[in-house]
Amino acid sequence: MRVSEVFGLQKSQAELDFVDIDLDSDTPLFVDPFALSIRKDAWSDHCTQHLLSFFQTAIAAIHDENEDRAKHVLNHLSEPNETRLGLSKGLPSGRGVSGKQALDLYDALSDSEAARTGILQEIAECDLFIPGIGHDKISDITTNVIRGPLLEYTRNQCLLHGMPLREGVSGGRIWDMGMEDWTSVYATLPVYDDRRILLVPKASVRFHMCLDCQEYYNHYMINFLQAEYTEAASSLAQVLRGGRHRVTKKSVKERHPFSKRALFEFTKNYA
């Protein structure tokens, strides 16, 4: 059952600003931090400021070798079941980034030259440069960090559409930009089957993240290097009739196989 059906909104997905989620299983969509960053509306900008504050706080702690502080920031990311978005099957289970996964994220960021050199500046870029961090974890982290704005958005959408709200519902942890820390809050939210619901704007989700490591590799890095090798008439080039040179993508990929380390080195040298 979708939100529109459960609450009798009599509106199609096209008529709703939020994702009309199935309340009994996850919808295979990701909350995309890059999609938020390129939008011009005040709400998206507010979310982007939350994301920058969180990530810069974590990176600063790593740079300062304040391991306890960094792990504290990264470990307070709960399972974002309330959006019903993601890849789990059946009842929403959420993955979250806490416990061992949070420690793995700390280790990955600590070991990352992209993070140490400042090339990695936003959560969205983790998919390009940090091994083991893909779309699902980036979406989970983003959802946690912007939970505060999502709580406000959900309440406003419910008031707009006349959906019932329950007061005093545990809203989970939100990122407080002023404190640069996590804090637990109670909120006024819609509830279904005794589980809280968090609505997410359609404009902030994607089936595939805007920043995708494979897309970056295939359609930017390889294309760029192919043109560079062709221009230089390198040893990869095949000489065609008329003296023209051609470099195949296959030959470039053989010399530069995919890895997130390779993406970082390319970005450092050419971007």
The sign one gets for the Cα dihedral 260, 265, 268, 271 is negative
**CA–CA distance, 52 with 35 (Å, rounded to integer):** 14
pLDDT of residue 241: 45
Q: Which of 124, 113, 109, 126 is nearest to 59 (CA)?
A: 109
Question: pTM of the entire structure?
Answer: 0.84
Question: Of 181, 206, 231, at which residue does a domain stop?
Answer: 206
Whether residue 226 is found in the same domain as residue 194: no
The pLDDT value recorded for residue 183 is 96
Bigger pLDDT: 45 vs 208: 45
- How many folded domains does the chain comprise? 2
Statement to judge: residues 150 and 111 lie in one domain: yes
The verdict on 84 and 190 lying in the same domain is yes
| 128 in the same domain as 247 | no
Looking at the structure, tell me whether residues 70 and 169 fall in a common domain: yes
Contact 165, 158 (CB under 8 A): yes
Tally Cβ neighbours within 10 Å of residue 17.
Answer: 14
Looking at residue 66, its pLDDT comes to 94
Residue 103 scores a pLDDT above 70: yes
Same domain, 147 and 233: no
Asked if 259 and 130 sit in the same domain, the reply is: no
Check whether residue 229 and residue 113 sit in a common domain: no
| Claim to verify: residue 154 and residue 218 sit in the same structural domain | no
Q: How confident is the model at residue 91 (pLDDT cuts 50, 70, 90)?
A: very low
pLDDT tens-place string over residues 23-40: 998 899 999 999 999 998
Range of the domain at 222: 213-270
Q: Is there a single domain that holds both residue 18 and residue 107? A: yes
Domain identity same for 187 and 250 = no
The predicted pLDDT at position 93 comes to 43
Half-sphere exposure of 148 (CA within 13 A, CB side): 19
Confidence bin at 201 (pLDDT 50/70/90): very high
pLDDT of residue 89: 43
If asked whether residues 196 and 222 sit together in one domain, one would say no
Strands of the chain (E only): list them: 30-31, 166-176, 181-189, 191-192, 195-196, 205-206, 238-239, 245-246
**Residue where one domain finishes, among candidates 168, 190, 206:** 206
H/E segment holding residue 59: helix 42-63
Structure confidence at residue 150 (pLDDT): 98
Q: What is the pLDDT of residue 227?
A: 85
Interval 257-261 mean pLDDT: 90
Confidence of residue 78 (pLDDT cuts 50, 70, 90): confident
Mean of per-residue pLDDT scores for the chain: 87
Of the residues 206, 238, 253, the one at which a domain ends:
206
Burial 206-230 (b: 16+ CB within 10 A, else e): beebbbbbeebbeeebbeebbeebb
